[in-house]
Structure 1
Amino acid sequence: MTVSRTEPIAGDTLRIHGFAALQPGPRLIVIGGVHGDETCGTAGIERTLAELDAGALQLLRGRLTMVPVANPLARRLGRREGERNLNRLFRPSRPGDGPADYEGRITDVLCPLLAQHDVLLDLHSFQSEGEAFAMIGPRDNSGTLEPFARAFEEGQLALHLGTSRVVEGWLDIYAAGLAQRAGGRPADEAALAFGWGTNEYMRSRGGYGVTLECGQHADPAAPDVAQAAILAALRLLGMVAPVPDAPPPARPKLLRLVSVTDRQHEDDQFVREWATFDPVARGEPIGVREDGSILHAERDGFIVFPNSAALPGTEWFYFAVESERDLQRPAPPARAS
């Protein structure tokens, strides 16, 4: 199928479902299907819509918006991207410029919509095996990379989504990866902008957001994880009735991304099939480069987002360590970044 880079696809429509209670309150937006092969978020949203339409779930205050399929082209093609990754360069077109591609047309619709909300829950899944986890942004800071002042609220949302792990530090490590590929030179603004996804845009507009990775793409439990997270977010924000005598959320393990390693050659291979959050000990072999050199873990930690099919020059895997941050208490401000 040939896709034009300048003309919209006839018939492509973003389905946007809105509910407004008569009592004021938080404004939550839930998005699924940012990547076309990640269907669990769509299923979780559709189930929640059915409960709202049937009256089994009632919105008590605030405003709820749900977008089941954020990238219709990628969904129709059954692959991660339409023309490019929608969760990169998630910004509206510059004034006077038209959208550069299909995904640019989507961001021109979704960015103003996100800016009308306070909170974002973005539902995803991943390729490798592993358990569901949540991803959060930086700690409160006044730096230039991603200034932020709502880290505690964002952490509380992640804490209540029911995952056993939460991961922090995405944009810092993305920027470090760019610098690494550029021989140590800091990334320019255009390159950093490509690291912006839905959550980064939401934070830039004064809100906060959490990405929930609901499990492996084909995991039959992933839609259940997505729906449970939507309901948990609504309860936390006081938008629907709480569950009587519900226990407090379990404390998840918090991990901090500290590095990204690129695949340099198509013959670079992992020593085994890694799953997200597989633990590794310092000195343990992770992969073998094309020239036969062994890539060892520099410290105790965890493999995150291993991609054995990564193209040369792109992210092969991320590495995380345990974080000292406590999501149940406001964290001290991070250093300027």
Structure 2
Amino acid sequence: MTDTIEVGTASAAPGEVADGWLPVAGLPTGGEERLPVTVVNGAEAGPTLWVTGGVHGDEATGVAVAQDVARTARDLAGDLAGAVVVVPVASPAGLRRNERTTYYGDDDPNRYFPDVERESARPPETQERVDTRLFEALADSADLLVDLHTAGVGSVPFAIRDRVLYGEGRTEPGAEDLAADLDRLVEAFGLPVLTEYPAEEYLEESLQRSTAGAALNTAGIPAFTAELGGHGVVEEDARAAGVAGTLAVAAEFGLLDSVPADVGEPGAGVPGAPVEFPVRRFVGPHAESAGLVRHRVEAGDAVESGEVVADVVSPHGEVLERVESEHDGYVVGRREGLAVYEGQAVASMAVRDDGDLVVPREDDGE
């Protein structure tokens, strides 16, 4: 039988449901920064699925999906074999500002989770301490993780599958086993799948220190990031797809016998991938001229290498540059805003990927 699960003040024995709070930092005005937690512990033994949302404070749909999964899991507690732990708001300091970043620091709060092969001579600052305390709670009980996000305005929903690294902390056969579970996880969710950046770029961007990256590559927990449309407001089709996908994950790994009939099919209501080849995440192409951007393609459009995806024009409307795609693939989102500077990306894309999912971790210079 599943043991009692405790996350912060939320404690649920088998067959119980508990709401509570996970303290993660002290506040200068007194009291604590704390994350809301729901623990739904089934009466029967099984894996523990964690669901996190809102690590970026303006990503509304991810928060809504996490809340709705918690409510549905509560309703299905009697049928649950295993447990569901939900943290719908992983960054209250971002949520209060309705912004991606927090007032702990003006950089990405999703780049401070522990890295098994990283050491620093400097003591951790506030955001790293917050992320570490969430990670420790997650690593203590999670067997699976779905981390819920959104991308840019008008983006199509997709799932990001991290590359599984091996080296000092994991053998290649161990990484292959972990990758097989990761494949099951992302396929069950039902959205188009983009593999993360190549390993060198992945480490340069510190994505092994994201919520899903750290769960996967430090804790060895199958984990992925779901990007559920645009940020700022709850998008209903993406919300429904996120709830259905998360419950489909629960069914795939034996927590539920099946997805409830009233929830819908995973991936329903969102566009499928317009290409048949495997793809990876790519930010670009980039403008070489400063000006005003005029997009020639929309999110979800397939493009070929050499195809023009945007024009950069002067304030008088003169075309300064035609920005061409460097790869075959499709557009997942377009640059927000009208102004573009030299070297800035005009789109986010899913581009052809011939790389391996399981890769050696090379020295990243730290």
Partner of 1:267: 290
Displacement after TM superposition at 1:232 (Å): 1.2
Cα distance change of structure 1 residues 195 and 312 upon mapping to structure 2, 3 Å threshold: farther
TM-score (norm 2): 0.69
Give the length in aligned residue pairs.
Answer: 309
Partners of 1:34 and 1:44 lie apart in 2 by 13
Displacement after TM superposition at 1:79 (Å): 1.3
More contact order relative to length (CA 8 Å, sep ≥ 6) = 1
Cα distance change of structure 1 residues 265 and 7 upon mapping to structure 2, 3 Å threshold: farther
Partners of 1:207 and 1:192 lie apart in 2 by 21
Partner of 2:112: 89
Cα distance change of structure 1 residues 319 and 269 upon mapping to structure 2, 3 Å threshold: farther
Partner of 1:278: 301
- Does residue 317 in structure 1 map to residue 317 in structure 2? no
1:187-336 equivalences in 2 (<5 Å): 191-193=204-206, 196-203=209-216, 204-217=218-231, 218=233, 219-243=235-259, 255-257=278-280, 259-261=282-284, 267-272=290-295, 274-288=297-311, 292-309=320-337, 316-322=346-352, 334=358, 336=360
TM-score (norm 1): 0.75
- Does residue 110 in structure 1 map to residue 110 in structure 2? no
Partners of 1:235 and 1:8 lie apart in 2 by 44
Q: Tell me if structure 2 keeps the 8 A contact 1:269–1:287.
A: no
Cα distance change of structure 1 residues 272 and 249 upon mapping to structure 2, 3 Å threshold: closer
Partner of 1:134: 159
Cα distance change of structure 1 residues 63 and 47 upon mapping to structure 2, 3 Å threshold: same
- Does residue 34 in structure 1 map to residue 55 in structure 2? yes
Partner of 1:68: 88
Q: Which has the higher strand share?
A: 2
Partners of 2:66 and 2:132 lie apart in 1 by 22
User: Which amino acid in the other structure matches residue 257 of structure 2?
Assistant: A
Cα distance change of structure 1 residues 173 and 308 upon mapping to structure 2, 3 Å threshold: farther
Unmatched 5+ stretches in structure 2: 1-24, 315-319, 362-366
* Most deviating of 215-224 and 64-73: 215-224
* Most deviating of 126-135 and 228-237: 126-135
- Does residue 122 in structure 1 map to residue 147 in structure 2? yes
Cα distance change of structure 1 residues 289 and 6 upon mapping to structure 2, 3 Å threshold: farther
Unmatched 5+ stretches in structure 1: 176-188, 326-331
* Most deviating of 250-259 and 34-43: 250-259
* Most deviating of 118-127 and 146-155: 146-155
Partner of 1:181: none
* Secondary structure of the corresponding residue to residue 26 of structure 1: strand
- Between the aligned residues of both structures, percent identity stands at 23
User: Which whole-Å deviations, capped at 9, do the CAs of 1:291-332 have from their partners, x for residues lacking one?
Assistant: 93433223432234432447876655344334579xxxxxx8
Cα distance change of structure 1 residues 323 and 243 upon mapping to structure 2, 3 Å threshold: same
